[in-house]
Amino acid sequence: MKAELKTQFKGVVEEFERGELSFGAPWRMSKKAASAVVPIIRQNQAKRGYVLLQEVQDKVLMKDMGQINRAVITNKSDSYVFVRKGSLLKGTTQERGVTVGVVVPPNSISEIEIQCVHASKGIISGSDYHYAGIAPREVEGAFMSNANQRETWSAVESSMKTYDRMVRNMQFGSRCVRTWRDDDLVAAMEQTAKFKDEVERVLEKVPVDLDGQVGIAIIDASGVAGVEFFDHPESWRAFSRSVVRNYAEELIGEKAELFELDDEKVEPTIMDFLEKLAEAREVQTITGDRSETRLLESPEVVGEYALLNGRIIHAIGTRTAKEVVEHHGIKVPQRGTDYG
């Protein structure tokens, strides 16, 4: 049973106010770019008390339990392992996505919450999984908004149309032949990735490895599109390219009308977004050995943060909207207040 809690995310706002967290200079691909990246910097880093799944994949086993919404994870390492929300799991069985970020204790066996992202593929109980990247933003958005399985499948369907358009338009300057099934999200991601060399070269320009950098905020004409950060630069470095890649469309895309970026408004706009996360309704989703994961919900923003030993080690937030519409069966955010 989920219980409402007094938010601890307000501590993040206080860290910015004290200068322990700060913002780097806004960066964008060009003057016509639809979005800008704002680095998040931590001035002092405590010793990291965990590692990411990507760093110890050879010591973490994941298996299909025969249930559509849960998988078993065995951590054979001596470290706490953080598994980020939106992580995709691939195997001979049905592909799934992790719907709630979780900290797995060392030398332990736990369960993780998942949803199917490949409806036409059957479940093979006992089959192994391996990490297969991060879900596209639309599917990740379904996880962020606590969507049900039907809504997640609709988000997958919509994402697949994006990959189909990618192939038809030959966006990445290479010939790409569609070989995946209509709902095989992971296959579409893997096969189109082979044709993204040009995009990857462009994304290498995004500032992700500044001294002390622990995350980024993405800002556009409507305000903050999303924010993600860790407590330590080593964690951010291990994950930064995956995060940036997930915002590729926003970062590389251009607008016909000029998006004026007022540097003086950037920091207040992001702080306002973080304050909305701090004021959001908070529920405890997972409690583990010395760890917790909490979900943030409000009409304007949704988010999630993970704690280890009472300290926030990872946080992610995106905007929603005051009003939503039905799109392919799922709720889709409308644009909020103009940023200018």
Strands 80-83 and 50-52, bridge-based pairing? parallel
The CA-atom distances, in angstroms, between 252 and each of 28, 96, 128 are: 9, 28, 36
* Per-residue pLDDT, 321: 55
Work out the mean pLDDT of the chain and round it to a whole number: 84
What is this structure's pTM?
Answer: 0.87
Pairwise CA distance, residues 273 & 318, whole Å: 9
More confident residue, 121 or 197: 121
Pairwise CA distance, residues 122 & 132, whole Å: 18
Specify the amino acid at residue 18. R
* Residue 56: how many other CB atoms lie within 10 Å: 15
Q: Which of 74-78, 189-193, 228-232, 332-336 has the lowest mean pLDDT?
A: 332-336
- Average pLDDT of the segment spanning 265-286: 92
- Average pLDDT of the segment spanning 49-61: 95
- Average pLDDT of the segment spanning 100-123: 95
* Per-residue pLDDT, 304: 96
What contacts 148, CB < 8 A, 6 or more positions away? none
Most confident of 50-54, 221-225, 248-252, 255-259: 50-54
Pairwise CA distance, residues 32 & 25, whole Å: 18
Nearest to 155 by CA among 211, 117, 110: 117
